[in-house]
Amino acid sequence: MAESIERLRGRLIDLHLHSDGSISVPAARHLAELGGTPLDALTDAEVFDRLSVGDSCEDLNEYLDKFVFPLSLVQTREQVAGHIRLLQDELRERGYAYAELRFAPQSFCERGLTQRQVMEAALDGLRGSDFEARLILCCMRGADNLAANLETIELAAEYLGDEVVATDLAGAEALFPTADFAPVFARARELGVPFTIHAGEADGPQSVRDALAMGAARIGHGVRAVEDPALVRELAERQVPIEVCYTSELQTGALEGVGARAVGELIEAGCRVVVCSDNNSVSNTWVGHELMLLSDVLGRGDSDVDRLLGNAVEASFADEANKTRLRATIAG
């Protein structure tokens, strides 16, 4: 596997990467220092345990609990900017060519920042590295955050361009059904903001159908679409990108009942599957590992991996000039 991953250096793309779920141990220590709460009393192993979910994770809700600690490290302007910049530098070191980093501005407001201040800090962080990355702003599933979600959409529309490229809907899918957020994404459509939606992870095929009906340009996770063959055919015919995060989906139980070969079924049906990591730290993975893992599980070779990388280029929210550059990079 090491030789195969080395072949991918400089060609890796991740379109589904939560910045707050991808804070490394060194980054966590740096961010804690910035916030005035150093982690000196903790060993690296103890910090890692706080950042990563264990093998005994039962469902998406338990998985999401792992965000409490990393989010506590990203609540000041300096921390917000720092975690975006540090993540970009780490991605470059691992051989990435491009990434779309997603986060929910409303989740970084616990110590008094406004969503606009979070956005400005994140952009400062983005500009602090020359790694090629873009931002996706997440709305969050919840019972009483309509105003906060609409504010996120408005900010995405205001900043949409070279640095902010889309919005998303993340959070506890089974507890807060996708269809409940139709008004939020109706506003996104009005403002011309593209969006992806987490669907078909903790909830079934209807969640994916609801996301498509709302106008989602991509589907986050989406593996439970295989429970509905007609839906799989529709996804294949429309070539809607499906952001598969294999390790994460095993951890959250998204693949329970549909089997680990669900990803293979989507590929074989002609769906535009994009391999992503979801959360480098929470899931203890990265996109190079995900590509090799899926290649091993599905028995696919280098040409299939190259095809998946090509899918990522075409599915990205990058502008055409960047897609042209990425196509050349992927081609080697």
Alpha helices in the chain (DSSP H): 2-7, 25-34, 44-51, 60-65, 68-72, 77-93, 115-127, 146-159, 182-191, 205-214, 229-238, 246-252, 262-268, 287-298, 302-315, 320-331
CA distance 156 to 136: 8
Distance CA 136, CA 217 (A): 13
Length of the chain: 332
Q: What is the DSSP string of 274-321?
A: EE--B-TTTTT--HHHHHHHHHHHHT--HHHHHHHHHHHHHHS---HH
33 is an active site residue: no
Check if the beta carbon of residue 209 is closer than 8 Å to that of residue 240: no
Q: Which of 100, 201, 243, 290 is catalytic?
A: 201
Residues 5, 92 contacting (CB under 8 angstroms): no
Q: Which residue has the tokens 């998985």?
A: 63
**What DSSP string describes 301-312?**
-HHHHHHHHHHH
SS3 181: helix
Q: How many other β-carbons are positioned within 10 Å of the β-carbon of residue 36?
A: 7
Beta pairing partners, 134: 100
Q: Could you give the CA distance from residue 65 to residue 9 in angstroms, rounded to a whole number?
A: 32
| Residues identified as active-site | 201
